[in-house]
Structure 1
Amino acid sequence: MTQTPPPQVWPTLRATDARALIRFLVEAFGFEETAVYGEGDRVDHAQLSWPLGGGVMLGSADRGPDDKWPLRPGTFGAYVVTEDVPALHKRAVAAGAEILQPPADTDYGSSEFLARDPEGNLWSFGTYRGEPGSVAAQ
């Protein structure tokens, strides 16, 4: 059996208030705070892990004129696999997430919902795990 390697692709985003966004993503969606670097309100780098694997990296938007990664806050979107859509939806609603589409079944066999975080980023959570692909031998 071939074991899937650890994640090597990390979606990244920037936030106007990165520390508040980190708290929201942990409380509303269940991400786990793995690492946060920075001083005061500024976040130079943060890694939030997803319990089923992978995660996102983020930081503060205001990095100065020499910023080599000038992503605009609120322009990010991600699909995240979850095993329990109703429970995660309930958690997101309780934490104040803006729900754009309530849980629904799709024609490709997924159950999913769509939410927007306080920075304007879009998050789709569902049971669809994607189609099997090849894993390079290690």
Structure 2
Amino acid sequence: MEIPEQYRYAVVPHVMVDGAAEAIEFYVAAFGASEHFRMEGEAGRIAHAEIGVHGSTLMLGDADAPFSPPDALGASVALHVYVPDVDGLSARAVSAGAELLSPPTDMPYGARQSMLRDPFGHIWIFLTPIAP
């Protein structure tokens, strides 16, 4: 059996949140994500879900031991995603409830970049390639 294409040559982030169903709704509204799969557990909690964010797969679920949501620990990981329009995506995400940590800025390494914190505590860095 082959490894599915979306998981080949990648480390797939799997984030834990409090309120995974609400997180999926937010990611759809803020980042244009698409839901691929959802497996519900007890009491309507999401045991495992997968969404697509600009061509990347993100796994997520409601936090249960041994996992904790980032607000309990502080964020220690950032999710980087290249997008065609970092300015538009940043505005959309802020309108949907994301906190803008750094506005879209041309960086010396050839990308226009913004940094946002989603309402579930995860930090996202969005980039659009530009000429250096």
- TM category, shorter: 0.7 to 0.9
Alignment coverage as a number of residue pairs: 118
Whole-angstrom distance in 1 between the partners of 2:36 and 2:44: 18
Query: Match of 1:131?
Result: none
SS in 2 for 1:87: helix
Whole-angstrom distance in 2 between the partners of 1:28 and 1:38: 23
Give CA deviations for 1:6-45 in whole Å, capped at 9, x if unaligned: 4433101101111111111111111111111104430011
TM-score by length of 2: 0.81
Query: Match of 1:134?
Result: none
SS in 2 for 1:44: strand
2:103 touches 2:115 (CA, 8 Å); kept in 1? yes
Whole-angstrom distance in 1 between the partners of 2:40 and 2:31: 23
Identity level (%): 38
Give CA deviations for 1:16-75 in whole Å, capped at 9, x if unaligned: 111111111111111111111104430011001123x2221011113xxxx5xx332123
Corresponding letter in the other structure for 2:69: P
Whether 1:45 and 2:48 are equivalent positions in the alignment is yes
Query: Match of 1:87?
Result: 88
1:13 touches 1:71 (CA, 8 Å); kept in 2? no
Shift of 1:89: 1.1
Query: Match of 2:103?
Result: 102
Whole-angstrom distance in 1 between the partners of 2:81 and 2:7: 14
2:22 counterpart (20, 23, 26): 20
- Structure 1 vs Structure 2 CA RMSD: 1.9
Query: Match of 2:12?
Result: 10
Structure showing greater radius of gyration is 1
More helix by share: 2
